[in-house]
Structure 1
Amino acid sequence: RCLAFEMVGYGDSIPAGRGRDISVARQADYLLDWLDALEIERAVLVGHDLGGGVVQIAAVRDSHRCAGLVLTNSIAYDSWPIPSVRGLRAAGGVVERLPDSLFKLLIASFMVRGHDNLAVGRESGRMHARPYLEHGGAAALIRQIRSLDVRDTLAVQHDLPKLGVPARVVWGTADRFQKVGYGERLASDLATVLTRIEGGKHWTPEDHPDAISAAVNQVLLAV
């Protein structure tokens, strides 16, 4: 089975995150609880960006559950929050009051910057904006940003080499948000090679789904 976990407080689950801990570290607990509810004892964990941090932490916390790991343009170590996100957090009191018209422009700009396929980037911007606009607008984004804490990934960095599971790391080399050097470090710690997507930017699952699915299939064959 191929299943997608929606982080609590993100996407259409934004309402479920109100009044709850939606940090990356806590998301790992929610993910493991979700697997428990589905009675899944072993899984290949796949993650991008914040989700990549979530699956790293989940794999370390429950190594017997993790059958394999695929990371693509993921947060890791001290790679985050990125400067633009830190800026939004600093100005959070103003940003959270943005009207929807300006908020849509903010999301669209961020998404396009992270895509090497601009048509996909524009479509992605519209798709990502929708749940925000339906569930609190800019205030929902600022609530997410305020939950980000680099200590969550720093806490597990020394445990990654101990996982000993089949792994693949795939990275867009032109990513300005998560630099390729972090991908190289992850590949080294996970005892695998880095698959480079030359010219690829941040949103590799959307721009380069074939490369990501190939990595997932390679790990599945190795499990």
Structure 2
Amino acid sequence: MKMNSRTIDGIPMRWKEHGEGIPLVLVHGIPTGPDLWRHVLPKIEGARCLAWEMVGYAGSIAAGRERNISVAQQAAYLLAFMDALGLDNAVLAGHDLGGGVAQIAAVRERDRFAGLFLTNAICYDSWPIPSVKAMQATKGLVRHLPDAALKLMMKMLLQRGHDTTEHAKEALETHFPFYANSDGAAAMARQVAALDVRDTEAVAPDLPGLKLPARLAWGAADAFQKLHYGERLAKDLDAPLRRIDGGKHFTPEDHPDVIAEEINLLLNDVRSAGRAHGAPANQGKGQAG
């Protein structure tokens, strides 16, 4: 998978790209990056997969300095990214914060999207989780944490969110290196300080009106984003929800086969709805997945 970069509206943006076909834009959460989808992308069929990196996260940490990196603003950055690459009739996939970004972007410009996939996503008033609220309250301390303390904090978070110790260890090895520098703790502090539940609450009333082909997959044992929130999202989106019994928060890393299968099913739904490969953006409007 190739890492690409481009300056868009004066902001350096990065994304990993893989495959050809229907545009599929995937958005990660905290404390991850495009590599969250590393085990999923090779299993996606018939799609041009673009795993976009949120501004101020992973390899784009430096771009987040002195910029608004809230979830609502990330949706604006994402839409600018799509404009720059000429991406229309795209399927949007999001996990954790990325799921909130996806909801906001879809509400803002519904007619440019062909489908929506969410997995263990923030929504409604489901976030920030207690540990993040604690970090927000002590952000002045967080920004001064030495690397060893920051790594331990991230390790504990990942262990709580992964099904197995082995998966948590692999995730730490994948995502922590982006924080392992003099700006890492400050970056984490910026990220948590920018989280505001009002971003998803503002679009919640508009979710039932999206009428996009949609699917959800949810780790039923997630202590961060509880299953009942996924069930509420599924009802509002009129979408099927795949329950992953025993699954925790980081489903793209722990259950890539399930996530890829559900995304591939959504891509088939999109094709059936006539919204793929350059179909007019309003074609199939009013059809649910």
TM-score by length of 1: 0.98
In 1: Cα distance, 2:212 partner to 2:182 partner? 38
Tell me, in whole angstroms, the C-alpha distance in 2 between the residues paired with 1:43 and 1:135.
37
* In the alignment, structure 1 residue 67 sits paired with structure 2 residue 114: yes
Equivalent position of 2:135 in the other structure: 88
What is the rounded CA distance, in whole Å, between the counterparts of 2:255 and 2:61 in structure 1? 27
Match of 1:132 among 160, 179, 184: 179
Which protein, 1 or 2, shows the higher relative CO under an 8 Å CA cutoff with sep ≥ 6? 1
Matched, 1:45 2:96: no
Choose which of 95, 101, 117 in structure 1 pairs with 2:164.
Answer: 117
Q: Please, which of 10, 17, 20 is the counterpart of residue 67 of structure 2?
A: 20
The amino acid that maps onto 1:217 is N
Whether contact under 8 Å (1:71, 1:170) holds in the other structure is: yes
Query: 2:182 and 2:56 mapped to 1: Cα distance?
Result: 10
Cα distance, 1:91 vs structure 2: 1.3
1:34 maps to what in 2? 81
| One-letter amino acid of the structure 2 residue matched with residue 214 of structure 1 | E
Q: 1: CA distance between counterparts of 2:250 and 2:194? A: 22
SS at match of 2:72: helix
Change (3 A) 1:163 1:15: same
Matched, 1:150 2:210: no
Partner of 1:214: 261
Consecutive unaligned residues in structure 1, runs of 5 or more: none
Task: Please give the per-residue CA displacement for 1:146-203, whole angstroms capped at 9, x wherever unaligned.
Answer: 0000000000001111111110111000000000000000000010121100000000
Percent sequence identity is 58
CA distance in 2, matches of 1:32, 1:93: 32
- What amino acid does structure 2 have at the position aligned with 1:202? H
CA RMSD of aligned residues (A): 0.9
User: Is contact 2:163-2:247 (8 Å) kept?
Assistant: yes
Q: In the TM superposition, what whole-angstrom CA distance separates every residue of 1:20-61 from its partner, at most 9, and x where no partner exists?
A: 110000000111111111111110000000000000000000
How many Å separate the matches in 2 of 1:101 and 1:211? 34
Contact 1:15 1:135 in 2 (8 A): no
CA distance in 2, matches of 1:203, 1:30: 24
Residue 178 of structure 1, aligned match among 215, 221, 225: 225
1:189–1:122 Cα change, 3 Å:
same
Q: 1:163·1:190 contact (CA, 8 Å) conserved in 2?
A: yes
Gaps of 5+ in 2: 1-47, 271-289
Which one has a larger percent helix, Structure 1 or Structure 2? 1
Please state whether the residue corresponding to 2:91 is helix, strand or coil.
strand
State how far apart, in whole Å, the 1-side matches of 2:269 and 2:165 are. Answer: 35
How many residue pairs get aligned? The number is: 223
Displacement of 1:117: 2.5
Name whichever structure is richer in strand by fraction: 2
Q: In the aligned structure 1, how far is the partner of 2:181 from the partner of 2:147?
A: 10
**Partner Cα distance (1:213, 1:157) in 2:** 26
Give the conservation status (yes or no) of the 8 Å contact 1:8–1:17.
yes
